[in-house]
Chain A
Amino acid sequence: MKVPLAWRILTYDKRRTALALIGIFMAILLVFVELGFFYAVPRGGLLLYDNTRFDLLLVSDQYEYQAQPGAFPLSRLDRLRSAAEVQEATPIYFGFAKWKGGEGGVWPDVFVIGFDPASHVFIPESIDRQLSVLGKTDTLLVDSATRPIFGPLDTGRVVEVGARNETIGGQYILGTGFMGLGVALASAPNFARLFQGRGLDIVNLGAIVLKPGVDADRAAADLAQASGPGTRIFTRHELEAHETAYWTTRTSVGIIFGSGLLISFVVGIMIVYQIVSTQVGRQLPQFATLKAIGYPDRLLVATVGAMSLLIVVAGFIPALAAALGLYSVIREQTLLPVTMSETRLFAVFGAALGMALVSALLSVGALRRADPADVF
């Protein structure tokens, strides 16, 4: 009888219950949003890696995170190229240059990625399709998410970048992540021309593709030996953990969204508590009557629990739908890869159940005090 009774109490005053649903809906939605941002930031940091073809990544031992990767001699990568497990080893170069054609005469910094177009090291089809464009002298491909401050990104536009005139050969779709406000791709020879005096012997990343069937973890250990001091090797899995840890613990991202998460959780508890305890208060004579005719406390407590649970579950479903909609708006507005994952869905559902539990426990106090003799 607990659930039907809880159901009746909630449907008795529909207006009030509707309000409770809106409240719990907002609270759960906020939990989703905070959590979405919390995960989106590291995903933004991993954007380039997610779009790069490699099993192992060779980096300098000074590697901090993608935007501060350090550098190592190309010879280290060449040494690994001849290893039995390795199919391909591609150097990737990073550099910042002044884009001397920004809006209103400003010179924003453009993040330039240099690579050998023949390596097909980047996954997006829009890059693969335009590899021949990169072969032309002093020609760049620009990321379509490059900010308006860089001025028009039309194909054929000539822009002074650093000390050279570069032609925009086209746009590709990948996303700028946290690489900068604007990102461009260049062939290795064009990269070397753009960053005079740097040459191609100093590499930022080495993307290693293993032969089919080779175990990545074992190969990583073997190749780490072969590559020598001053470098380290990440498997994809290790790299993802490393970048995520960087963004969540070393920046303020973890604390900002973590505290937002905590407060929205508490606000959720408050609103369910508010609704359930008011209902209990209003139905106190009825509860006292039930008590007087012999219903045990346990059963009344279960009724309150069922009320909280019903409200939370009913609020969760529309919140999930709204969160999916909001995620896509946020993706467009902030260019952060905010997505829903199964684990996140279940985690939020678990948190919502937690809200129900805590608010039920808080509301039950009033019920225990319901003394049949006092009420009438």
Chain B
Amino acid sequence: MSVAPSPQRHRPGLAAGLQPKSVPLAWRNLLANKPRLFRSASGIGFSVLLMLMQLGFEQAFFDSSLEVIRGLDGDILVQSIHKYQFATRDPFPRAVLDTAGKVPGVTSVRPLYVDWFDFFWKNPFDGKVFLVRAFGFDPDQPVFSFPEVNANREKLKDANTVLIDRRARRFLGMDRDPAEAELNDSKVKIAGSFALGPDFQSDGTVIMSDRTFASLLRGPAGNLSEVDLGVIEVSSGEDVAAVRQALSKALPNTVAIFTKPQLIEFERKFQADVSSAGPIFWMGTIVGFVVGMLISYQVTYTDLADQLPQYATLKAIGYRTGYLLRVVLEQAACNALAGWVPAWLVSIVLYYFIGRLALLPLRMSVNVTLVSLGLTVGMCLISAVFAVKRVIQADPAEVF
């Protein structure tokens, strides 16, 4: 590539005036042909949309089972050592929580009762009976951070009064604002609703006081001596990890003690181990990436072929290969953005509607945004590197 000596040395004035800031050249190339821009943006955009949908589903899949743990209002959570996932019953003696309350640094210890297999909800609109998830807590010791649950907790003090999940699966009829329903053959009053949504274990959720929980489960004399989860708040200023350490010394080894992030991680790991959601959605993402790469290669290659005389001219007047390479890569990055931005916007709309339809917590997150942006720019740059060989080899003498 020793075509000409560097122009800077011989004609500094001209070069300084001629050499535009690099982005405008890539930018102008991009805008030079609007229909082509539209074509490339839509081609790249759809492959990005495919990636965004798959990434979004993957995240929503995990989120749907983590949503409820995130909604627990505590720093440290205590559960049976044998519990392998959140959605299973494995109660432990309530007395353990009394011990936990005496550990220094602990502000409050509140019990949560959960059941997945024994609460049968009768859809008040069609009389069909379904299994639902039930939570019970002492209305004076709230365990959730859901505002709608806490706003209504006083009402839960009335016997057989419950709150229902209006994002539950539609066949439960919880989204139709019923005033009364039946739970385990007892009439229950519905005092309000919250928006949690189903997960892969349960179709809907009912929240009630601990007393209602016990009486619906085991009759009026139902006792509360066994709990499913202890929700612990650490005094402000105390180190959560240190309090967790102190708790694990004070409590029997029949319980496991997690900080909230640890329990979320424990559940995420379980879901990742047993479910095929990860590989299923990653496969879709990879297909989107490869297809996007091909489309982007096609776009850059065609573009370079069309502009070959112009590139050759630039070369002939002394621009270095490195500069041309930079222009091409910048243009590829511009193409990537031109496809990514509309796809990102469209996916927000799709997330909203599909999330409502499928009752999945589909949300645009920083994580999905960055991963999709990285993949998009990556696929466009890789394909540009493959396509650019042609420009580097362009001989000004041959082009004309």
Q: Indicate whether A and B interact.
A: yes
Within 8 A of A (CB), among B62-93: 81-84, 88, 90
- Which listed segment binds B: A85-93, A98-106, A302-310? A98-106
Assess the B276–A336 pair: CB atoms within 8 A.
Answer: yes
Whether A16 is near chain B, meaning CB under 8 Å from some CB there, is yes
Whether a CB of chain A sits under 8 angstroms from the CB of B8 is: no
Shortest CB–CB separation between residue A72 and chain B, in angstroms?
Answer: 14
Cβ contact within 8 Å between B46 and A266: yes
For B53, give its contact among A19, A263, A270 (CB under 8 Å): A263
The listed residue (A102, A273, A334) touching B279 by CB distance below 8 A is: A334
> Please, which residues of chain B bring their CB within 8 A of the CB of A62?
128-129
Q: Across the two chains, which residue of chain A brings its CB closest to B270?
A: A149
> Which residue among A62, A259, A273 has the maximum number of chain B CB atoms within 10 Å of its CB?
A259
User: Does residue A298 face the partner (Cβ distance < 8 Å to B)?
Assistant: no
Question: Contact check: which of A27, A259, A274, A334 meets B298 at CB < 8 Å?
Answer: A274
Q: Is the CB of A270 within 8 A of B54?
A: no
Q: Chain B residues with Cβ under 8 A from A252's Cβ?
A: 358-360
A108 and B169 contacting across the interface, CB-CB below 8 Å: no
Question: How many Å from the CB of A19 to the closest CB on chain B?
Answer: 5
Asked if B49 is an interface residue, CB under 8 A from chain A, the answer is yes
Q: How far is the CB of B283 from chain A (nearest CB, A)?
A: 6
Contacting pair A270 B295 (CB below 8 A): yes
Closest residue on chain A to residue B287 by CB atoms: A30
Q: List 9 A-B contacts (CB under 8 A).
A: A16-B301, A105-B82, A250-B169, A264-B50, A264-B287, A274-B295, A282-B302, A334-B280, A336-B276
> In the assembled complex, how far is the CB of residue B267 from the closest CB belonging to chain A, in whole angstroms?
13
A-facing residues in B276-290 (Cβ within 8 Å): 276, 279-280, 283-284, 287-288, 290
How far does the alpha carbon of A147 sit from the alpha carbon of B299 in the complex, in Å?
47
Q: Is the CB of B205 closer than 8 A to any CB of chain A?
A: no
Q: Considering only CB atoms, which chain B residue lies closest to A178 in the complex? A: B200
Residues of B at under 8 Å CB distance from A? Answer: 39-40, 42-43, 46-47, 49-50, 53-54, 57, 81-84, 88, 90, 117, 128-131, 169, 171, 203, 273-274, 276, 279-280, 283-284, 287-288, 290-291, 294-295, 297-299, 301-302, 350, 354, 357-360
A109 and B39 alpha carbons, distance in the complex (Å): 53
For the complex formed, measure the closest distance between the CB of A256 and the CB atoms of chain B, giving whole angstroms. Answer: 6
Contacts of B295 in A (CB 8 A): 23, 270-271, 274
Contact of A22 among B43, B294, B302 (CB under 8 A): B294
A189 within 8 A of B: no
* CB of A376, distance to nearest CB on chain B (Å): 18
For B52, the closest partner residue in chain A by CB is A263
Q: Are A26 and B291 in contact (CB under 8 A)?
A: yes
Q: Given known contacts A255-B357, A266-B46, A271-B291, what 10 new A-B pairs fall within 8 Å (CB)?
A: A23-B291, A23-B295, A29-B287, A33-B284, A64-B130, A259-B350, A263-B49, A263-B53, A267-B46, A274-B39
Q: In the bound complex, do residue B82 and residue A100 qualify as a contact, i.e. CB atoms below 8 Å apart?
A: yes
CA of A335 to CA of B287, assembled, Å: 22
Is A37 interfacial (CB-CB < 8 Å)? yes
A106 touches B84 (CB 8 A): yes
Pick from A37, A260, A267: contact of B291, CB under 8 Å = A267
- Contact in complex: B284, A34 (CB < 8 Å): yes
Q: Provide the residues of chain A in CB contact with B130, threshold 8 Å.
A: 64, 68
Q: Which chain B residues border A108 with CB–CB below 8 Å?
A: 84, 88
Partner of A181 from B57, B169, B274, B358 at Cβ < 8 Å: B274
Question: What's the least CB distance linking B211 to chain A, in Å?
Answer: 25
Q: Is the interface of A mostly helix, strand, loop or mixed?
A: helix
Is A277 among interface residues, defined by CB-CB distance under 8 A?
yes
- Give the size category of A's interface with B: 35 or more
A107 at the A/B interface (Cβ < 8 Å)?
yes
Flag A320-335 by CB within 8 Å of B: 1 or 0 each.
Answer: 0000000000000111
Task: Tell whether, in the assembled complex, residue A147 and residue B274 are in contact, meaning their CB atoms are under 8 Å apart.
Answer: yes
**How near does chain A come to B393, taking the closest CB pair, in angstroms?**
15
Decide if B274 touches A267 in the complex (CB within 8 Å).
no
A residues in contact with B291, CB < 8 Å: 23, 26-27, 267, 271
A278 interfacial contact with B, CB 8 Å: yes
Q: How far is the CB of A292 from chain B (nearest CB, A)?
A: 23
A270 to B283, Cβ gap below 8 A? no
Asked whether A68 lies within 8 Å of B82 as measured between CB atoms, the reply is no
Q: Which of A98, A263, A275: most chain B Cβ within 10 A? A: A263
Q: Bound state CA distance, A147 and B272, in angstroms?
A: 13
Q: Is A96 interfacial (CB 8 A cutoff)?
A: yes
CB distance from A56 to the nearest CB of B (A): 22
Given A23-B291, A68-B130, A274-B39, check contact A107 B84 (CB 8 Å): yes
In the complex, what distance in Å separates the CA atom of A281 from the CA atom of B373?
30
Find chain B residues with CB under 8 A from A263 CB: 46, 49-50, 53
Whether A255 pairs with B297 at a CB distance below 8 angstroms is: no
The docked-state distance in angstroms from the alpha carbon of A336 to that of B283 is 15
Residues of A within 8 A of B283 (CB): 33
> Considering only CB atoms, which chain B residue lies closest to A249 in the complex?
B171
What is the CB-to-nearest-CB distance from A101 to chain B, in angstroms, rounded to a whole number?
10
Bound Cα distance A47, B53 (Å): 29
Contacts of B354 in A (CB 8 A): 255, 259
Contact B287 A333 (CB under 8 A): no
Give the shortest distance, in Å, between B155 (CB) and chain A (any CB): 30
